[in-house]
Chains A and B, each alone.
Chain A
């Protein structure tokens, strides 16, 4: 019996256990509850890290739920997997690691941030449930199970966005998100049913092994791409995202960033691992690229005019998601062209995957600094802020790092991933790289504006008495700052250890299929 074999199940069981133990633990008072939140998310982080190490060392690991043995993917005599299988390759493990880091930082931040409010038992419970849903989407190898986890994370996030239910805007944002994501998940269920009706299977790897393009497969693909692009906040369906991100409590916003990345993960899993080379036409890759370009440009142009600091960052999320869609879409475009793949396609995928890591870290950190400002001053409107740098030096320092990283200034990690995306998308068409560059410049302009109005300038009289935020919030932000600085100072190590295995696993469709259908027996 080896602990490492059970890691894919443990990464789900631990936060789920936390979610159900939270109401009992809350009876023990504030300290017990906060302790539970931090400890559960920390253990999840450790498990995610061990899982990532294990997958890098031993290849794809899978876990059969409800079978005779946990490592028997094809039970006696069956040619097809019939159980629920969790499958973790390097890309899933990479995403789970990102998600777990953000979940831990958000939990640390929430300990102080939510201290003034009641109903924290429910908060801890829903927070753990949202973490479970997010990690579940990343480790599952079954398309119906993916739908279940997307619903778990959606339902938990409706509750968390509307957590301050005395605020009308929070209710409105939550309702909007609930409506849109409910329609989206129904489309995912129809797509799962369509694929089941055609192939009698729900396992992603097994469907991928026999898939041939036909009308039903095209229908399923369109439904999946549409709904998952909506869930990750791409342009024409992005309306819910700034509202939800701005109105949720900040620790939750930080986690929602990672949850939207889980939807992006689902999109990539569908495109690369289920459809992959069988996709045949370049329509869907181009659609993803166009979604990406539109999100980048319109997201950032909406962001420039915002006054509310969290809404501004919400619109920047839309534009940053565009970069990943662009990078991964370019990779998808040349998936069956070996020469173009080696030439620029793999660079694009590496850029996209690295940008997922960078975006999750710096965007979560930016939201946390916005939350720290809100905690200290009680304001979210940029026009009412000024001179915060003197009063909140640590927050200012971390904001500057995150803002420099998101704008792609050279020594920081955002620069590396954006550069990879520029040079690879330039090879497809120069226009793609031009849009990406313009977006980057506008992002810089927008964050210079935020920095200048909020942190520099004369001190406002109304802000004369504010203080730096408590230690736990600073530690929460410091975790993410450390991740950004680590990736910035050691870019070649990060690229070769963290990013490249994940990108390689994403492209390797036959490896993903072979792990389930080849083993067992």
Chain B
């Protein structure tokens, strides 16, 4: 049961992110919600890769253990973090430009593209 705790955390964070994106009106808060969503996915990948009692998959550092933790999910997580960094930076700079053009960051008032 306790082994599944990370996955519950992932589910809660994921729903928080989704709700944040759909419910909040402030663009900065929406960007934060996107980041939370990304973090929940990263926790999911890291939690997925862990084996109870596993050691590092380096031959001369592994010691006695024969169960090893596959490093692929960690590599995936690192890549995903780098990508999330780039998109967050882009989202924030777009918000900056929105503020400059519209004078507001309220979703309801940024509606020139309709119909």
Q: Which A residues fall within an 8 A CB radius of B?
A: 144, 148, 151, 154-155, 158-159, 162, 165, 168-169, 171-176, 178-179, 182-183, 186, 189-190, 192-193, 196-197, 200, 202, 243, 246-247, 305-306
Q: A151-B83, A168-B101, A202-B72 are known contacts. Are A162 and B94 too (CB-CB below 8 A)?
A: yes
Interface majority SS on B: helix, strand, loop or mixed? helix
Contacts of B41 in A (CB 8 A): 186, 189-190, 193
Contacts of A171 in B (CB 8 A): 94, 97-98, 101
User: What are 14 of the A-B contact pairs (CB < 8 Å)?
Assistant: A155-B83, A158-B87, A159-B90, A168-B112, A169-B113, A171-B97, A176-B113, A178-B90, A179-B21, A179-B30, A183-B21, A189-B80, A193-B44, A306-B115
Contacts of A247 in B (CB 8 A): 113
Give me 20 other A-B pairs in contact (C-beta within 8 A), A148-B83, A178-B94 excluded. Answer: A144-B76, A148-B79, A155-B83, A162-B94, A168-B102, A168-B112, A171-B94, A172-B112, A174-B94, A175-B91, A175-B95, A179-B30, A182-B37, A183-B21, A189-B80, A190-B14, A193-B41, A193-B76, A196-B72, A196-B76
Contact of A182 among B14, B44, B87 (CB under 8 A): B87
Question: Is the CB–CB distance between B97 and A165 below 8 Å?
Answer: yes
Could you tell me the distance between the alpha carbons of A106 and B112 in the complex, rounded to whole angstroms? 27
Q: How many A-B pairs fall under 8 Å by CB?
A: 85
CB distance from B57 to the nearest CB of A (A): 12
Contacts of A192 in B (CB 8 A): 76
Residue of B nearest to A167 (CB): B101
Question: Is the CB–CB distance between B87 and A243 below 8 Å?
Answer: no
Could you tell me the distance between the alpha carbons of A247 and B80 in the complex, rounded to whole angstroms? 29
Contact of A186 among B37, B48, B91 (CB under 8 A): B37
Could you tell me the distance between the alpha carbons of A182 and B91 in the complex, rounded to whole angstroms? 10
Question: Is the CB–CB distance between A178 and B113 below 8 Å?
Answer: no
Could you tell me the distance between the alpha carbons of A159 and B34 in the complex, rounded to whole angstroms? 18
Contacts of A305 in B (CB 8 A): 115
Contacts of B94 in A (CB 8 A): 158, 162, 171, 174-175, 178
Could you tell me the distance between the alpha carbons of A166 and B44 in the complex, rounded to whole angstroms? 40
Could you tell me the distance between the alpha carbons of A179 and B21 in the complex, rounded to whole angstroms? 9
Per-residue A-contact encoding for B63-97, CB less than 8 Å = 1, 0 else: 00000001011001001100100110011001101
Contacts of B113 in A (CB 8 A): 169, 172-173, 176, 243, 246-247
Residue of A nearest to B101 (CB): A168
Question: Is the CB–CB distance between A183 and B87 below 8 Å?
Answer: no
Residue of A nearest to B14 (CB): A190
Contacts of B98 in A (CB 8 A): 168, 171-172, 175
CB distance from B67 to the nearest CB of A (A): 14
Contact of B48 among A165, A196, A202 (CB under 8 A): A196
Contacts of B90 in A (CB 8 A): 155, 158-159, 178
Q: A196-B73, A197-B48 are known contacts. Are A186 and B101 too (CB-CB below 8 A)?
A: no
Residue of A nearest to B42 (CB): A189
Contacts of A190 in B (CB 8 A): 14, 41, 44
Q: Nearest 8 CB-CB pairs, A to B? A: A168-B101, A197-B48, A175-B94, A171-B97, A243-B113, A151-B83, A193-B45, A189-B41
Contact of A200 among B37, B45, B70, B86 (CB under 8 A): B70
CB distance from B91 to the nearest CB of A (A): 6
